[in-house]
Structure 1
Amino acid sequence: MAAVAVAAALSLTTVWAPAQVARAQAVRDTVTESLSQRLFPLLDALGRDPAALNVLQARPEVATMLRARFDRRAACGTDLGCVAQAMIWTDGEAQVLAAAVPGRGMDDGPAAQAGREIAGINTIVRTYGLGQVPSYPGIDGAGTLDPQEARARLQAAAWLARTPRANSVQALDPSLDFALALLDAADRRDAISYAPLTGGLNAPAFRHAGGLDWKRYRYSALIVTGVGPEVEGMPLSPYGKYHVRLAAQRFAAGDAPFLIITGGHAHPRATPFAEAEEMRRALIERYGVPAEAIVIEPHARHTTTNLRNASRLLMAMGAPLDKATLIICNPDQSAMIESPDFVKRNDRELGYQPGAIGPRVSSTELEFRPSPLSARVDPRDPLDP
């Protein structure tokens, strides 16, 4: 239905962008800026470095490619569907830009990171602008839109992409800001919710981690995975309640200083409840687990990212990555995590393994050593990069 609505919207025409808007003073938009930094760290950094941006634009192969993209957008005239499609980067264009973008600090180099970020722009435009069905339609995407709303989002994104924003790469290409505007229009700012994760509900645990002697414990943390409810209005699923009991029971043994509770706003789509928050509440209220022992990870919507995001939090806490953690979950999910199919799924969806699965301790407990590769940002999942 979403694709049908968008198709109807695209049959309408309007002005691509008023000329006077393009001459406006650049201002900071803190929400868009935060989304840009979170989803597109490499390209965002380029927007904050005018000198590097000028050097990049002056490269002949880049200038030729950018001119072709400009001409393609200009040829669309007032056709919004054409404008959105023109924002998509072709494989050849992506290769030219990725090969030329400067950067450092990425585990596999700036070209690979630039490639992921360009692919992320394409994913957002296709999903939130052109009505393409996302990989997980039950929990992702914009949902069903009527034609008027679909048109309004495309038009607003087109205008915003041309309205100057401070610290942006609009001077290079407007597609990044077009994608960010589409996400914002859909109210899918999930990637920057709860920021910073070192504060808020996690502040007591991070303070506790600061002076911790990790050698005192067998495990650096117990990672408790989520299993979201499928019922509208249900804050915590039956499986989630079982996971909470298992977690409280294992924590009482004293083998780990922290519980990392992972699970975002997953099921059903756009639910107001984050699994991690609800499980944290149950651990404190029902089982008396102290707040300083609980770290929430409220973004993951899949088991793959449960483990990836938990690994990121362990790195942020200063936990030794060569020390094992213990994954706590129901027997079926635990067996799935241990299976060869899960290895293949990580390779397919993440491009790497978020850590190494270790020995099985029980039917509900599996050792896991996190990998530093989990720090890699990938906006092809714009809700949890």
Structure 2
Amino acid sequence: MSMHKLLLLSFALCFTGTSAFAQLQSANPNYKLVSGNDWVKAKNYYLLTLFEQDKAVSNLLLADSELLKLMQQKTNALHSSLTECKDALCLPAQIKFTDEEISLVSARLTALYKPGNALDLLVKNQLIPSGTYIMYDAKTPAELLINAWEQDAKAVNYTIGVYAEGKKPNYPQIDSISYDTKQRAYFALMYNCSTEVTDLIKPGSLFFEPALQAALLYLEVNERRNAADYEPMATTANKTSAERVKQIKWASYPYSHILVPGAGPENLTTPLSGEGMLRCKTAARQYQLGKAPFVVVSGGSVHPYKTKYNEAVEMKKYMVGTLHVPENAVIIEPHARHTTTNIRNDVRLIFRYGIPMDKPALIITDKFQNNSIANMEKRCLNELKYVPYKLGKRISETALEFYPVITSLQIDADEPMDP
């Protein structure tokens, strides 16, 4: 590097303050998420998953007297609730983190964090390259750690609130709890869940385990483990497509890929709606014209409530079996529950599969959904806190260009079925 460039770099670092660190870090497309054999846990609460999986970090946390005391208090509260709680909602309420407990842990993590120690390495070798807390990248490593902890703690509380206490989720018609919390039988279910959590807590469990295990259990009894569906996709459902990415000559195509958002049917017996078929047909024609080497079909098990059919899976079956698009050209994104996350999840997939992020992509859908997408920035900011795309040209009523935005890697703390 020339002396001139070194001086420019030094000047830039001097005048960017805490943001200087952000310039030296970035999400890595080759980074492999640590699942810990539970994709629901990893995708929702990634820092807590890493705390469990990293032995050096676990030992550091277990050796802290304040965190050990907190663990004992949470365990005692859990046991006491089995005899003291007289209504169903009392039981999960004892498991959630209080604001004071969240602040206590933040203070302890701040005290425990030292440059070069296990927590520092966790941030630099795992959190930053994962991109899962990318909205905090302008922070120092210690601040990023605290923000990630506070996000995960609130995400655990949110899950317990919706899927145990029956609070309203963002979209009640499709995402609400499966039970009537006022029924007498619900007390027995909550009691049995608390008993199950006590059985899961063993000597050497970390301070957050009671709440984390409870949140995961409540999702399971509600049949809401959708975040784990078809994972790990890169080596299973999308394996042939992911492997083909390396062979593509991108200059031969105007677009990196075509995104097709799903459209759920109106009843529980129809696998693929008529609207879904029409969107697939339009996308298949664009693929056959050589507009892009891949079609990403996006949509989860969403409509109607508690459907067993998955929009992306059914669209792929139709694209391959009926429209004769090659299987290795169709990528499923089977988790999105909304138009905002159709695009966000698409960006996540193409980033991790190595599809160019600096090349425009094409959304193919009906006129009315594209009209909505063209004016969706406010909704994205409200629901995601960022916009996961930058719009390009409106090619036709059914085709709209967009550019992916890497902030899409950020975990969403209040959508446990598709975080």
Change (3 A) 1:91 1:67: same
Change (3 A) 1:172 1:251: closer
Deviation at 1:63, TM superposition (A): 6.0
From 317, 327, 330, give the equivalent of 1:281: 317
Instruction: Measure the CA separation in 1 of the matches of 2:204 and 2:240.
Output: 35
Instruction: Measure the CA separation in 1 of the matches of 2:237 and 2:64.
Output: 47
Q: Match of 2:388, as an amino acid?
A: P
From 37, 40, 56, give the equivalent of 1:35: 40
- Residue 89 of structure 2 is matched in structure 1 by 81
Q: Kindly provide the CA deviation profile for residues 47-82 of structure 1, in whole angstroms up to 9, marking residues without a partner as x.
A: 223543453466576567666655655654431532
In the TM superposition, 1:5-84 aligns within 5 A as 33-56=38-61, 69=74, 73=78, 76=81, 77-79=83-85, 80-84=88-92
CA RMSD of aligned residues (A): 2.6
- Residue 151 of structure 2 is matched in structure 1 by 116
Instruction: Measure the CA separation in 1 of the matches of 2:202 and 2:50.
Output: 12
In the TM superposition, 1:1-385 aligns within 5 A as 33-56=38-61, 69=74, 73=78, 76=81, 77-79=83-85, 80-98=88-106, 100-101=108-109, 102=119, 103-104=122-123, 105=128, 106-107=133-134, 108=136, 109-145=144-180, 147=183, 149-164=185-200, 170-339=206-375, 342-385=376-419
Instruction: Measure the CA separation in 2 of the matches of 1:98 and 1:238.
Output: 50
> Relative to structure 2, which stretch is displaced further, 207-216 or 273-282?
207-216
Deviation at 1:32, TM superposition (A): 7.4
Change (3 A) 1:92 1:291: same
Instruction: Measure the CA separation in 2 of the matches of 1:100 and 1:370.
Output: 37
Identity within the alignment, %: 30
Q: Match of 1:117, as an amino acid?
A: D
Q: Match of 1:180, as an amino acid?
A: L
> Relative to structure 2, which stretch is displaced further, 54-63 or 43-52?
54-63
Change (3 A) 1:167 1:70: closer
TM-score if structure 1 supplies the norm length?
0.83
Deviation at 1:154, TM superposition (A): 1.6
Instruction: Measure the CA separation in 2 of the matches of 1:159 and 1:264.
Output: 32
Q: Does the 8 Å CA contact 2:36/2:53 hold for their aligned counterparts?
A: no
Deviation at 1:287, TM superposition (A): 1.6
Instruction: Measure the CA separation in 2 of the matches of 1:98 and 1:370.
Output: 33
Q: Match of 1:291, as an amino acid?
A: E
Q: Does the 8 Å CA contact 2:79/2:198 hold for their aligned counterparts?
A: no
Instruction: Measure the CA separation in 1 of the matches of 2:322 and 2:79.
Output: 60
Instruction: Measure the CA separation in 1 of the matches of 2:100 and 2:162.
Output: 21
- Residue 14 of structure 1 is matched in structure 2 by none
> Relative to structure 2, which stretch is displaced further, 267-276 or 156-165?
156-165
Instruction: Measure the CA separation in 1 of the matches of 2:36 and 2:185.
Output: 21
Q: Match of 1:78, as an amino acid?
A: E
Change (3 A) 1:168 1:62: closer
> Relative to structure 2, which stretch is displaced further, 174-183 or 241-250?
241-250
The gaps in structure 2 that reach 5 residues or longer are 1-34, 110-118, 137-143
The gaps in structure 1 that reach 5 residues or longer are 1-29
> Relative to structure 2, which stretch is displaced further, 313-322 or 56-65?
56-65
Instruction: Measure the CA separation in 2 of the matches of 1:52 and 1:207.
Output: 34
- Residue 22 of structure 1 is matched in structure 2 by none
Q: Match of 2:174, as an amino acid?
A: I
Q: Secondary structure at the match of 2:322?
A: helix
